[in-house]
Amino acid sequence: MVEGKVVIVTGAGSGIGRDLARAFAANGAKVIVNDTGRVVGGDGFAAEHVVAEIQTAGGRAIAVVESVATSDSAQRIVQAALDHFGRLDCVVNNAGITRDRFFFNMSGEEWQAVLDVHLNGSFHVARAAAPHFKSQNSGSYVHMTSTSGLIGNVGQSNYAAAKMGIVGLSKSIALDMAKFKVRSNCISPWAWTAMTANIPADTPENIARIEKLKKMDSAKIAPLAVFLASDQAVDVSGQIFGVRANEIYLFSQPRIIRTLHRSEGWTPESIAEHAIPALAPSFYENVPSMAITPWDPI
């Protein structure tokens, strides 16, 4: 499906990113496996081990151990693709970390660390690739978002803000680069990975959530990403998809759903008396994402 294309996958040393890199290679792409992590309990960098797996299976890949969190290092990631494979066709912004904590306890460092990797990292790598996509009049961005941002979650204000920011970034890229035939889409994945393994098993609800997540294979995310990078997705841009086990779904996007007009204008009192009672039936319930998107493995 992506034979001959060159694809950067960030955060590809483990979890969803590793599965993405392997799937792209299995479908004919040349893959830049980007990750800064070292092998847990072993030697070397995780990205190098993923490259070895791909090469053993007959694919082509190189490891690039660079952070996504700065412009200079992002440029080096993109340059590695050009130096080794001569072009670039797709960027998959998957790199991520978590620093979960209730908002009222969150430090500035915990806030900034998550935004630097998720949101700033997505921008830096996407921006570094943009001139090359423009010059060849083609390209695809696939960004990983999350229901923590799209719907909300407890103890993840940094992660949620970054992931919702990625949606805005993707929409803007899709609009700004449409005339160059460059596409940009988001995937909200559900999978059991090292990041979701950080969920504390401290309540019956969390224990149930963990058991459901353990049944969601991270490899299930990859086929949609491969499709979005392919030429068959030429008309798909600016969308937000979700993947959960064997489900693929499409998210709604913010649109005006109710409007009220008052010829003499509004006062705080008339808003309290008329506007809010009229709008309240359309309010969204303030609940975490798992309450909105239940999952039954049967």
Angle 69-72-78 from CA coordinates, rounded to 5°: 90
Encode 50-81: b = buried (16+ Cβ within 10 Å), e = exposed.
Answer: bbebbeeeebebbbbbbbbbeeebbbbbbebb
Which domain, by its residues, includes 133?
6-253
What is the reported pLDDT for 22? 98
Flag whether pLDDT at 206 surpasses 60: yes
In a domain, 286, yes or no: no
Per-residue pLDDT band at 297 (split at 50, 70, 90): very low
How far is Cα 31 from Cα 28, in angstroms, rounded to an integer? 9
DSSP secondary structure string for all residues of 143-175: EE--HHHHT--TTBHHHHHHHHHHHHHHHHHHH
Q: How many domains does the chain have?
A: 1
SS3 content of the chain, % helix, strand, coil (to 5): 50, 15, 35
Q: Please check whether residue 87 is in contact with residue 138, taking contact to mean a CB–CB distance below 8 angstroms.
A: no
In a domain, 289, yes or no: no
Residue 264: phi, psi to the nearest 5? -90, 5
Give the residue numbers marked as catalytic: 159
In a domain, 37, yes or no: yes
What proportion of the chain, given as a percentage, has pLDDT over 70?
A: 90
User: Beta strand 247-250 with 240-244: parallel, antiparallel or unpaired?
Assistant: antiparallel
How far is the CA of 63 from the CAs of 23, 33, 287, in angstroms? Answer: 16, 5, 40
Flag whether pLDDT at 201 surpasses 80: no
Per-residue pLDDT band at 298 (split at 50, 70, 90): very low
What is the reported pLDDT for 289? 81
Side by side, the strands of the sheet bearing 90-93 are: 60-64, 30-34, 6-10, 90-93, 139-144, 182-190, 240-244, 247-250
Per-residue pLDDT band at 245 (split at 50, 70, 90): confident
Flag whether pLDDT at 112 surpasses 70: yes
Check residues 29 and 246 and name the one with the higher pLDDT.
29
In a domain, 265, yes or no: no
The string of pLDDT tens digits covering residues 134-182 is 999 999 999 999 999 999 999 999 999 999 999 999 999 999 999 999 9
In a domain, 1, yes or no: no
The string of pLDDT tens digits covering residues 37-88 is 998 877 899 999 999 999 999 999 999 999 999 999 999 999 999 999 999 9
In a domain, 69, yes or no: yes
Flag whether pLDDT at 192 surpasses 70: no
The string of pLDDT tens digits covering residues 282-296 is 999 888 887 776 555
How far is Cα 62 from Cα 78, in angstroms, rounded to an integer? 12
What value does the mean pLDDT take over residues 80-101? 97
274 SS3 class: helix
* E strand or H helix that includes residue 131: helix 121-136
What value does the mean pLDDT take over residues 113-121? 98
DSSP secondary structure string for all residues of 2-43: -TT-EEEEETTTSHHHHHHHHHHHHTT-EEEEE--PBPTTSS
What value does the mean pLDDT take over residues 215-235? 93
What is the reported pLDDT for 197? 55
Domain of 90: which CATH number?
A: 3.40.50.720
How far is Cα 78 from Cα 130, in angstroms, rounded to an integer? 10
140 SS3 class: strand
In a domain, 279, yes or no: no
In a domain, 290, yes or no: no
End-to-end CA distance of the chain: give it in Å, rounded. 31
